[in-house]
Structure 1
Amino acid sequence: MGFPDQIVRTVELAHPPVKVWAAITTAEGLASWFGDTATIDLRPGGTARMTWTEGGHVANMRVERVEEPSVFGFTWHIYGLPEDDPRRTYVEFTLEPAGAGTRLTVVESGFAQLPEEAYQAAFGGNTDGWKSELGELVEYLDAA
């Protein structure tokens, strides 16, 4: 395949890792910037679910990695594929202290498993999605 397998986004946040960790790993935090409602069982093998009122979208996730307060990873359904398709991408948040704030890197991988037409929709949609969602995370943290 001749296309990238992963989306990588890094953002500098003016908040300590403990505050960023809470925003990305708690139901309250996730529902404040990522979805409209959220549930999460924060342990490897645990489940998480987010819903968006606009469009009625639901994301069911499986928690894969929890290394508080520096790494959180999950798998989820690939945008654009039928709901019963077993393929998933892996999303990992890495938090690093950066002065008084945090450098947050988000990597979503697993796109190379897709045929080109499905790849274009999933990779393009999620590239735009992470830009938007991380902007919302910054707004949420700055307002709190």
Structure 2
Amino acid sequence: MSFPDRIERTMELRQPVETVWAAITTAEGLGTWFGNTAEVDLRVGGEAKLAWTSGDTATLVIERVEPPTVFAYTWPIHGLPDGDPRRTYVEFTLVPTGTGTTLTVVESGFAQTSGETHKTAFSGNVEGWQSELGELVAYLDGRL
């Protein structure tokens, strides 16, 4: 049986590429729309550490940094035990348009899991990206 491996979302944003880049790669940006606080070491092999007021945390390992068009990281698969080496790969691609930026977010690697673990991780992240990208838009529009 085959399990879905990737989530992909594309959206048109009114802001220029440089503004969107700052929102997805800086502690101020990530700590506002993606988490409640963030620390970012923006380099390949660096980490971004996110924390939420709920007590949840996430450590992203930065895999690609091509300012201002590609930012990618890996992070743990939700529902797996701490220390499990399986991770998904998340890539943000920014393309300037005449009126702003086309942002594409792709998260892949869910096929490393199966059964209930896959269902929980995949569906949770589908819902999560819908919510988080809505918060990104609110942040960029100055509503957060």
Taking structure 1 as the reference length, the TM-score comes to: 0.96
Segments of 5+ residues of structure 2 without an aligned counterpart are none
> What does 1:79-90 align with in structure 2 at a 5 Å threshold?
79-90=78-89
1:125 maps to 2:124: yes
Partner of 1:71: 70
For residue 108 of structure 2, what is the aligned residue in structure 1?
Answer: 109
Tell me the SS of whatever aligns to 1:82. coil
SS at match of 2:104: strand
Aligned to 1:8: 8
1:41-67 deviation digits (Å, cap 9, x = unpaired): 10000011001112x110011100000
Equivalent residue letter for 2:71: F
Which segments of structure 1 move beyond 6 Å, counting only runs of 4 or more?
A: none
- Whole-angstrom CA distance in 1 between matches of 2:134 and 2:70: 20
* 1:52 to 2:68 alignment: no
Unpaired runs of at least 5, structure 1? none
Give me the whole-angstrom Cα distance separating, in 1, the residues matched to 2:2 and 2:66.
Answer: 33
Query: Comparing 93-102 with 130-139, which one deviates more in the overlay?
Result: 93-102
Taking every aligned residue pair, what percent have the same amino acid on both sides? 64
Q: Is the 8 A contact 2:3 2:114 kept in 1?
A: no
Q: Residues of 2 paired with 1:11 and 1:133: CA distance?
A: 13
Q: Deviations over 1:82-134 (max 9, x none)?
A: 11211100000000012220010000000011022110000000000000000
Q: Scaled by the length of structure 2, what TM-score is found?
A: 0.96
Q: What CA distance in whole angstroms lies between the structure 2 residues aligned with 1:84 and 1:46?
A: 18
Q: Distance in 2 between the 1:29 and 1:125 partners?
A: 23
